[in-house]
């Protein structure tokens, strides 16, 4: 199995889990934030939804300039779920076009002309395409818990769901 195929397999599995978490975001709470320095619930949900596609656009380039990272505030959870579907589809298409050699190639990105990250592309994808995604998904579950929303099972039981019961 190619490296890209293994990443796509993980992406498919984790996208389903991410969808279950994003489906719990209440439309009436998109502007809520737990603290002044944090993203709103809607901004965090949209960041999570668009992460796979946005990161793959960056990963497909090399020696590019770091893009601006503005947050988008969605108008509905349906919009977030549509963005997730589009993002995952785009990420799978771009990733599927990469060979093992492409994924092992040293990838770099610059900020203001200075290299700020340089590592094998597959390491960048593990760190930012996947691990970064999971990190923010975990943040979102904390937001949901603070709002009193049920948290779905992710890798095992949550206080609200037990897939093994």
**Residue ranges of domains in the chain, CATH in brackets:** 3-146 (1.20.120.450)
Sign of CA dihedral 148, 145, 39, 78: negative
pLDDT digit string, tens, across residues 58-111: 899 877 777 666 778 999 999 999 999 999 999 999 999 999 999 999 999 888
pLDDT digit string, tens, across residues 131-151: 999 999 999 999 999 999 999
Q: What is the mean pLDDT of residues 122-139?
A: 95
Q: What rounded mean pLDDT belongs to the chain? A: 94
H or E element in which residue 7 lies: helix 3-22
CA 87/CA 22 separation, integer angstroms: 14
CA 17/CA 36 separation, integer angstroms: 28
CA 80/CA 84 separation, integer angstroms: 6
User: What does the pLDDT read at residue 69?
Assistant: 65
User: What does the pLDDT read at residue 142?
Assistant: 97
CA 83/CA 37 separation, integer angstroms: 24
Q: What is the mean pLDDT of residues 13-41?
A: 96
- DSSP per-residue codes, 53-106: HHHHHHHHSSSEEPPP------S-HHHHHHHHHHHHHHHHHHHHT--HHHHHSE
Answer yes or no: pTM beyond 0.85. Answer: yes
CA 38/CA 28 separation, integer angstroms: 18
């Amino acid at each position: 199995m190619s490296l890209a195929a293994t990443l796509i397999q993980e992406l498919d599995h984790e996208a389903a889990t991410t969808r279950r978490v994003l489906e719990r975001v209440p439309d009436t709470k998109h502007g809520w934030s737990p603290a002044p320095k944090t993203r709103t619930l809607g901004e965090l949900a949209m960041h999570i939804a668009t992460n796979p596609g946005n990161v793959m656009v960056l990963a497909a380039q090399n020696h590019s300039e770091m893009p601006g990272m503005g947050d988008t505030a969605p108008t509905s959870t349906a919009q977030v779920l549509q963005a997730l579907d589009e993002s995952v589809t785009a990420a799978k298409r771009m990733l599927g076009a990469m060979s093992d050699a492409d994924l092992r190639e040293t990838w770099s990105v610059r900020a203001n002309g200075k290299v700020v990250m340089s590592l094998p592309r597959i390491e960048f994808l593990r760190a930012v395409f996947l691990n970064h995604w999971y990190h923010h998904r975990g943040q979102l579950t904390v937001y949901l818990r603070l709002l009193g929303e049920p948290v779905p099972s992710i890798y095992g039981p949550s206080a609200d769901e037990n897939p093994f019961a």
